[in-house]
Structure 1
């Protein structure tokens, strides 16, 4: 999956198909998790001058919807592909999360005005006055439950995480303190029967919070060498894990408070992680990480769980002899010598389950490419048969700005 300036990625279900929603500056897209194909055209935000900051998935009256915020709040029906509500606000909203309150879908937002607000998704009407407490920008919002009551958890540049009772519209307890700098991301989960949260911040730490005991100091997970932009919680084979993203993506055992295996890595540059989501694909738990490189990388956590603590020289037990690009339909013959349009020799070095990984001679494992990216830039025309069977010229200019980028694979 690719797109210009991906800000957020979330998972959902549309017409019985597991999907990923990716948010750019002025539009969002829906992708099938099964075949990595884009489902329909992008949903374009009419206010092209607005930059949109957050997206959430929800179910409203048995219909899957997307809630997008930034310069305003908009709700789309993902089946009928139509906008249901639009609220223009000048709050500079940074994030949104959805939950149910009294049988109705609500959206909880936070942003530059430092307040937490609750909206009725069907009408876009604000349900209550703003909840105040944060003293700086709210960067991240997550929804969950405590003792059967809906709550929101927020992360702010004021170095705190806060818990909010959405029914009573008030803060629960004192701020959760521990981060030494701005908190950029928060996620909600359940460990046993206890509600928990995981947060990540510019201090490079990941922190685990017991929401039932907010006075207890957070458990600190250390491993990132720079700021943590994104976090998530997931279950893998019955085990609760936390996932965090900065310059790389790491997996943590929540109970033992230890990192599980090496960082998630497939040999390709993933850039700075802006958002993480977890879902399922073919029965396995997967991580989707959106990055500044305008890609969403996908990893199977069940496979990662078996890797141990040492990064393997090669992930794939067997390299493919052919590969079909799921986006373009182009077929790659991987039994032939891999030579680009400029005469340089390449080698197939790995396969991440999604795309073959290649490296130019002399081999440097730190500089590898997905084969589709390498073909688009350097041209492996001799081994590629286009879906339409038309011959592709191997004299393609490197600076041609064609449309190969518009429908990249997940």
Structure 2
């Protein structure tokens, strides 16, 4: 079971918040994902709310790597995921359909259309969220959206695998993939205030929905804590919950600190410890072994409105966080008591910041 312990062990560094790179682009970014390209370079994939394209950003030099990814036609793009398909680094886009793009050649490999909706389900083809995993030796994508169903796709052919999975009664806002008892699973969360766990091999829900949040759940992430499968969820009820997925009847441990809605969650490992990064009006870091917040909210000195997406990766050997910002409204990120960090504005600044953290 997950415990709120104070056991001795490697301590999570408190020097969170030093921004390594200037902001990526000037648009309104709603989703962000960490990825790789052929030579091993880390990149960030970002969904632009304005033109519904996906930008590819080289995290080493902070420049856009080639032209943005934009499917033909006028279909919107609302979500993006990363995967490796037969040795190719690919981006999977969802919105009015599903598209698979080669990140190195920057060309569309395939496109899938959303099949008819189950009887009694809300009309509307929009897929809002997507995540990739391996199933029976092939890359699959799991998506969810406005018709409240979960869909599994064969990425190689961009075709839907079987009928949609039903259970949610509200729009699905987040999808995460993981492993439970050696089997691939997907977690979905949404406006019905529940999280559901799906067995991807059997194509069925595992157990009862995870309940406890009292508002729409906009974010869920899946990972490991001391060898046990866990999930962390963020809700519009201003809280996060930590779930032990291996427990017979998981009960989410509350993580309090945010004073407004939590719309983004990501997991990573720092100094041997599993940490969660959560975002909304501000960005906070949590040591999941102690269930406590690490340091003050992250603050970079800019006025921004809301963090809608977070992703964790590695840059220069240092765990790094990329984040998506929905819009600007003059609201400062962080609290008045947060120690300010100088915002890098040039590539020389970026290199100096990276050297200070080494």
| TM-score in terms of structure 1 length | 0.72
1:204 and 2:238 matched: yes
1:22 and 2:35 matched: no
Whole-angstrom CA distance in 1 between matches of 2:290 and 2:25? 35
1:59 and 2:90 matched: no
User: Residue 5 of structure 1 contacts residue 292 of structure 1 at CA under 8 Å; is this kept in 2?
Assistant: yes
User: Residue 73 of structure 1 contacts residue 124 of structure 1 at CA under 8 Å; is this kept in 2?
Assistant: yes
User: Between Structure 1 and Structure 2, whose CA radius of gyration is higher?
Assistant: 1
User: Residue 151 of structure 1 contacts residue 166 of structure 1 at CA under 8 Å; is this kept in 2?
Assistant: yes
Q: Shift of the alpha carbon at 1:214?
A: 5.3
User: Residue 272 of structure 1 contacts residue 292 of structure 1 at CA under 8 Å; is this kept in 2?
Assistant: yes
Q: Which protein, 1 or 2, shows the higher relative CO under an 8 Å CA cutoff with sep ≥ 6?
A: 2
Q: Which residue of 2 aligns with 1:394?
A: none
Q: Which residue of 2 aligns with 1:2?
A: 25
**Structure 2: gaps (5+ residues):** 1-23, 115-123, 329-336
Q: Which residue of 1 aligns with 2:119?
A: none
Whole-angstrom CA distance in 2 between matches of 1:353 and 1:86? 41
Whole-angstrom CA distance in 2 between matches of 1:78 and 1:287? 21
User: Residue 11 of structure 1 contacts residue 20 of structure 1 at CA under 8 Å; is this kept in 2?
Assistant: yes
Among 303, 317, 336, the residue aligned to 1:283: 317
1:169-222 Cα distance to aligned partner (Å, 9 max, x none): 000010000100111110111112111001001101011111111513211111
Among 127, 136, 152, the residue aligned to 1:118: 152
User: Residue 299 of structure 2 contacts residue 341 of structure 2 at CA under 8 Å; is this kept in 1?
Assistant: no
Among 87, 99, 104, the residue aligned to 1:74: 99
User: Residue 152 of structure 2 contacts residue 162 of structure 2 at CA under 8 Å; is this kept in 1?
Assistant: yes
1:180 and 2:217 matched: no
1:35 and 2:56 matched: no
Q: Which residue of 2 aligns with 1:353?
A: 353
User: Residue 301 of structure 2 contacts residue 341 of structure 2 at CA under 8 Å; is this kept in 1?
Assistant: no
Count of residues in correspondence between the two structures = 310
1:168 and 2:197 matched: no
Whole-angstrom CA distance in 2 between matches of 1:195 and 1:62? 28
Whole-angstrom CA distance in 2 between matches of 1:120 and 1:225? 40
Which aligned pairs between 1:186-335 and structure 2 lie closer than 5 A? 186-213=220-247, 215-293=249-327, 311-312=338-339, 314-315=340-341, 325-326=346-347
**Structure 1: gaps (5+ residues):** 295-309, 333-350, 355-410
Whole-angstrom CA distance in 2 between matches of 1:292 and 1:54? 14
Q: Shift of the alpha carbon at 1:240?
A: 0.5
1:250-293 Cα distance to aligned partner (Å, 9 max, x none): 00110111110000111112320010000011110011111124
CA RMSD, aligned part only?
A: 2.0
Q: Secondary structure at the match of 2:156?
A: coil
Moved more, 226-235 or 85-94: 85-94
Q: Which residue of 2 aligns with 1:300?
A: none
1:83 and 2:108 matched: yes
